A and B are shown apart, each in its own frame.
Chain A
Amino acid sequence: MSAAQNAGGSPRIAAWNLNDLVEWDRRIRDKAAEFGLDCYPQEFELCDHTGMLGYMAYSGMPSHYPHWSYGKAYEKLKTLYDHGVSGLPYEMVINSNPAIAYLMRDNSILLQVLTIAHVYGHNDFFKNNFTFKSTRAELTIEAFKAAAIRVRRYVEDPSIGVEQVERILDAAHALSWQCRRNLAIKKLTPLEQMARAEDSAQGQPDPFQKIHARKQIEAPDFHKVPLEPDEDLLLFIRDHNPFLADWEKDLLTIVDEEAKYFISMMETKIMNEGWASYWHKKILESLELEQGLHLEFIVNHNQVVRPIPGQINPYHLGLKIWEDIYRRFTNPTAEEIKRDGPPVKSGTEKIFEVREVERDASFIRRYLTEDLMREMDIFEYEARGEELVVSKVADEEGWREVKATLIKNVGTNSIPVLKVEDADFGQNRTLYVKHYHDGRDLHIEYAEKSLTYLQRLWGREVVLETVLDGKRSLLCSNDRGFSVRALK
């Protein structure tokens, strides 16, 4: 799902009909093909603002399982919309084959054209970027629908009921992002993990074996569960808590699958929005719009991709980087040639390559240059007491660190990494989870509540190793409640 926000623009009278859209779409598609975009078949659905709010609350899915949190999301969106705090997106696209996008029927023809062009940018990205390879786009809609049907059945089952379903879903939602982040990396099966453990226990072949004592080989412990730390919390619980009923396991699977579907979106937010903005701009500029429409286009385009001080606007940042890459490979400055050498491929080739093989973190790391950071005035801030204070700016000493901080805050990097280390800690079936601390502490209140959810699903005591204020600590949640213990 991806959405471009209309920042509270006044509703316009829509003076167009469906045939106009079909005609514009044909022209846009021709242009897109000409530029080399490679898209899934596209479907557009016109909807009104309630419909759009509904799609937004349910992550754009035409069919989604029920849970109160979506009601909450809807109310929140509606309140913000009703009070004019935020406008509605012009558009919303979901990664499926065919790709489905929603268009607001009240938008002007220019906005529809802009949106359609933007949507093809996302569509191409969904189809070609590597992070989406693991999401099976042709099954998206059906998978969500099937999950919805199953959850509804559990809710209606008199022996289960909504309370029980919510008990699991509330907990599962709290842990759903605690899953593998890079889905392109294959997860090893337990057998493969065993083989790997065995291999590494053998040690390196030693050419001087004859002249000194053989190194003692320590047999790996194959009884340990898990053999290697496991990031998929929900799936681990599903597979290792023997007291879960089938329907409970199914709920965990459903939540995990949905999270993994959205992980790809999260991982490529900046690239994806930047890419779509890059192409809607290119396409609309090539359409030879009449003057009135062209002006409206410029106004709306700038509205979407403007920098927002105090925030990172993914549309702005993404577009800037894409344009910079294209420029550096098409028309580099003398200084850049001196630094990077002459470009080995054309700008177009380069951006199509990048859109396939990168995600936000690597995209920023490799293509956000010092110059660009300075131009955009990206800074790092931290909390000092009650205030947020600029700590570093993108100057000569600081830019690398500012960039590192930026990378830490994009995509799944903004989610703490937790891994299951031991499912039988202290021979007591206590679940031992470790937070891979990277300098950022957990929010303790949130950690406490989330850990309680983890305990609910695991059914026994859970402990979480983390670092609080520089001290290794163990957070425990068991029948007696929550406690924090210092570790040596």
Chain B
Amino acid sequence: MSGGDTIFREYRISDAERSDRSAGDRLRHRQKVRESIRENIADIIAEESIIGKDKDRVIKVPLRGIKEYRFVFGDNAPGASQGDGDSRPGQVVGKTGKDRPGKGDEQAGDRPGVDYYETDVTLEELIEIMFEDLELPNLERRALREIQSDYSSRRKGYRKVGIRIRLDKRRTAKQRVMRMLASDKRNDAVARALEESKADRELDTGVEGALDEIALEEGALDEEALAASPGAAFQRVHRRFPFHQDDLRYKHVEIDTKEESNAAVICIMDTSGSMDTMKKYLARSFFFLLYQFISTRYRNVEIVFIAHHTEASEVTEEEFFHKGESGGTFISSGYAKALEIIAARYHPSLWNLYAFHCSDGDNFDSDNPAALKDAEELAGICNLLGYGEIKPLGSRYYESSMLNVFRQIQAPNFHTVLIERKEDIWPSFKAFLAKDRVKEA
């Protein structure tokens, strides 16, 4: 045996506590996870049916940016491993991808798939991550259409006029003292008070002492028993210096109107025969984003689903996204239905209205004037009206489009977007909200 004695290093709690060496790297890793989630938001929202779901719901999010890639062998590489004693050719021992036997030394990272590539986040976290880089103006700043739901009063400053019951005696007295000090007439009274007190007090306390006595006198102001108060002695010695109208200070109370901020998201979707699964899938992603975003901005969000083909009807979420209908398209029917629902339930003076319509733009020509008229009317009462034309790549060359028709609408809060593939959703959504910003400015 070469070398000296073996060294044993004792465990020390202080070392152990100090040595959270991976803290920095863990933080960095989590940042990367968040970045990765943000980059893949378009995919995540498109895959999940999460509208109206519980905020605590856990979602599996694929992490693409966080895998550590190396050159490794693919699936056609045979492996060797140990059996339980009677392995026969043809016996199935596992599945590809997962639990591949004989994955060897993990250090080499010699097989793909041993890396975990999903993480769990709650819906709330996801939304937070989604909107954190949106850099949107504070929509809350906008004058909300509010209901005065609560009459609570709140003190706010002082005024010279007010009702008797809100008279602030302390402040009133202070005002009087200030006036007294400022007045030449009373200078000698203060000087006398100073003289009296200078034997055993300091200058400042002397002044304060004088003020205290005056304050005491003030305590008796409202009462008739002026003579019985402790200030009466002072009063007797000194000349009278009565309160003046200007001294009076009243507590000011403001009525606090609680702003019940309501918003209604009106989702209108074309469910005509031409809207296939792919188009609905894109629409759904957009509606989801819109709903989540509005939810973060308003306390009370209601969501209305309107499905239309040639006729419109209000439907449940389930029906909205999954029910296929057939037939032609009258876009105006959807808008008319929205107007009808707004008139019945969401008066524009009480509700912030966000309406969004997804269609493939394949409208009957004859309906265009009516659609245009209704859209203008809807834009007039909504905070924001959006029209998303969903044209999976290529199809826009042979299908008609409403984008040209809607170009005539002048309303500043009307916005159209073209969605061709799922990568477009996020930029479109940002652009859509940017419109809102323009209006605000």
Contact = CB atoms under 8 A, between A and B. Distances in A.
Interface of A: 18, 21-22, 25, 29-30, 32-33, 37-48, 50-51, 54, 57-59, 66-72, 74-76, 98, 105, 162, 173-175, 177-178, 262, 265-266, 269, 307-314, 316-317, 376-383, 385-393, 402, 405-406, 408-412, 414-416, 418, 435, 439-447, 449-450, 453
B9 A67 contact: no
Interface SS of chain B: loop
Given A390-B93, A391-B78, A54 B6 contact: no
Contacts of B101: 310-311, 381, 388
14 contacts: A21-B8, A42-B3, A44-B9, A50-B16, A67-B25, A67-B28, A68-B32, A174-B68, A309-B81, A310-B93, A311-B82, A406-B80, A440-B76, A447-B71
B73 A71 contact: no
B237 interface: no
Contacts of A33: 1
Interface residues of B, number: 68
A455 to B, nearest CB: 13
A430 B66 CA distance: 28
A266 B72 contact: no
Interface string B357-371: 000000000000000
Contacts of B69: 174, 446, 449-450, 453
B6 A25 contact: yes
A295 B95 CA distance: 38
Interface of B: 1-4, 6-11, 15-16, 19-22, 24-32, 66-96, 99-105, 107-108, 110, 112, 116
Contacts of B95: 386-388
A33 B6 CA distance: 14
Given A51-B19, A311-B82, A383-B75, A39 B1 contact: yes
Given A68-B28, A389-B91, A390-B91, A416 B82 contact: no
Contacts of B99: 310
B94 A310 contact: yes
Given A262-B107, A390-B89, A441-B76, A379 B16 contact: no
B40 to A, nearest CB: 15
A25 B19 CA distance: 27
Contacts of A50: 16, 19-20
Contacts of B30: 71
Nearest to B24: A66
B6 A43 contact: yes
Given A71-B25, A409-B80, A443-B74, A392 B9 contact: no
Nearest to A105: B11
Contacts of B26: 71, 74-75
A443 to B, nearest CB: 4
Given A68-B29, A416-B73, A43 B9 contact: yes
B80 A440 contact: no
B22 A71 contact: yes
Q: Give the top 7 A-B pairs by smallest Cβ distance, nearest first.
A: A41-B3, A71-B25, A71-B29, A414-B110, A71-B26, A440-B77, A449-B69
A445 B25 contact: no
Contacts of B108: 177, 266, 412, 414-415
Contacts of B78: 380-382, 391, 405
A386 B96 contact: yes
B104 A414 contact: yes
Contact of A308 (B25, B82, B87): B82
B81 A312 contact: yes
Given A314-B105, A392-B89, A416-B73, 20 more contacts: A41-B3, A46-B9, A68-B32, A98-B7, A262-B107, A266-B105, A310-B102, A311-B103, A379-B80, A379-B87, A383-B76, A387-B92, A388-B94, A390-B89, A391-B89, A405-B79, A409-B79, A409-B80, A414-B110, A449-B67
B80 A312 contact: yes
Contact of B84 (A74, A309, A418): A309
